[in-house]
């Protein structure tokens, strides 16, 4: 990005911050949290402008959406304090997740961005639905399973699909299942049995290949 644009954006944000702070002092109204919320959002918009004007600046999507998420989270905490414990992390983590999603959309070869995106959005879903769904942690594992499942469908290996994402996807599904049955009396026996079966399968494959 042109250095002049950087200076213009940074200078504009500083001027706006000073004006808001001055009005705050003159009016005698405590707008501290709102000021921070606005500054974070404007800072994020500045990064998004950098990204929008030059797609090679894909990296700006991450701080851009993160700052917008932080600013939005602060604003929501002030406007709706009773929901702050849920909505604030949802906005912040959601902003981070969306940033990585945009990185992938701008550069499909950056398939790795799908993983942090999936982690962040899975946490968002878990936190958002935790007040109304028992054992919401299951949603987190299901979200991770879906994330790796999507990777298995994408051409991530020199334009071809790869099978390795299926293994963590299966592991996440297993963890979701274990958490789902965690209240049952036989759940404590499930994991050892699965480990024994997995080990037996690997031994069987090794013996079969050797033969």
pLDDT at 194: 64
pLDDT in tens, the chain (211 residues): 555 566 666 677 667 667 766 766 666 555 667 778 888 888 898 889 889 988 888 999 999 999 999 999 988 888 888 888 888 999 999 999 999 999 999 999 899 999 999 999 999 999 988 888 877 888 899 999 999 999 999 988 888 888 889 889 988 888 887 777 655 555 556 556 666 777 776 677 667 665 5
pLDDT at 87: 87
Cβ-Cβ contacts under 8 Å for 120 (sequence gap 6 or more) = 93, 94, 96, 97, 100
Which structural domain range is residue 9 located in? 1-115
pLDDT at 181: 63
| HEC string for the chain | CCHHHHHHHHHHHHHHHHHHHHHHHHHCCCCHHHHHHHHHHHHHHHHHHHHHHCCCCHHHHHHHHHHHHHHHHHHHHHHCHHHHHHHHHHHHHHHHHHHHHHHHHHCCCCHHHHHHHHHHHHHHHHHHHCCCCCCCHHHHHHHHHHHHHHHHHCCCECCECCCCCHHHHHHHHHHHHHHHCCCCCCHHHHHHHHHHHHHHHHHHHHHHHHC
User: Within a domain: residue 136?
Assistant: no
User: Within a domain: residue 71?
Assistant: yes
Cβ-Cβ contacts under 8 Å for 68 (sequence gap 6 or more) = 40, 41, 44, 45, 48, 95
Q: Which of 126, 122, 128, 167 is nearest to 144 (CA)?
A: 122
pLDDT at 187: 54
- Burial class of residue 88 (count of CB atoms within 10 Å of its CB; 0-12, 13-18, 19+): buried
Torsion angles phi and psi, residue 137, rounded to 5:
-60, -25
User: Within a domain: residue 101?
Assistant: yes
User: Within a domain: residue 36?
Assistant: yes
User: Within a domain: residue 128?
Assistant: no
pLDDT at 84: 81
pLDDT at 61: 95
User: Within a domain: residue 196?
Assistant: no
**Into how many domains does the chain fold?**
1
User: Within a domain: residue 202?
Assistant: no
pLDDT at 205: 67
User: Within a domain: residue 189?
Assistant: no
Residue 86 and residue 128 in contact, taking contact as beta carbons nearer than 8 Å: yes
């Amino acid at each position: 990005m042109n250095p002049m644009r950087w200076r213009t954006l940074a200078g504009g944000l500083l001027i706006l911050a000073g004006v808001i702070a001055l009005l705050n002092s003159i009016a005698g109204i405590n707008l501290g949290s709102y000021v921070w919320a606005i500054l974070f959002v404007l800072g994020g918009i500045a990064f998004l402008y950098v990204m929008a004007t030059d797609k090679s600046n894909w990296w700006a999507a991450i701080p851009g959406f993160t700052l917008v998420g932080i600013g939005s989270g602060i604003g929501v905490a002030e406007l709706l304090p009773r929901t702050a414990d849920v909505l604030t992390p949802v906005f912040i983590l959601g902003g981070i997740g969306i940033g990585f999603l945009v990185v992938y959309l701008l550069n499909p070869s950056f398939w790795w961005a799908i993983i942090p995106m999936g982690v962040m959005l899975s946490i968002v879903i878990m936190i958002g639905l935790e007040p109304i769904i028992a054992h919401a942690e299951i949603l987190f594992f299901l979200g991770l399973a879906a994330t790796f499942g999507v990777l298995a469908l994408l051409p991530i290996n020199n334009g071809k699909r790869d099978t390795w994402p299926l293994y963590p996807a299966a592991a996440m599904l297993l963890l979701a299942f274990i958490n789902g049955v965690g209240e049952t009396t036989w759940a404590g026996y499930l994991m050892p049995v699965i480990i024994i079966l997995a080990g037996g399968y690997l031994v069987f494959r090794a013996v079969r290949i050797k033969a």
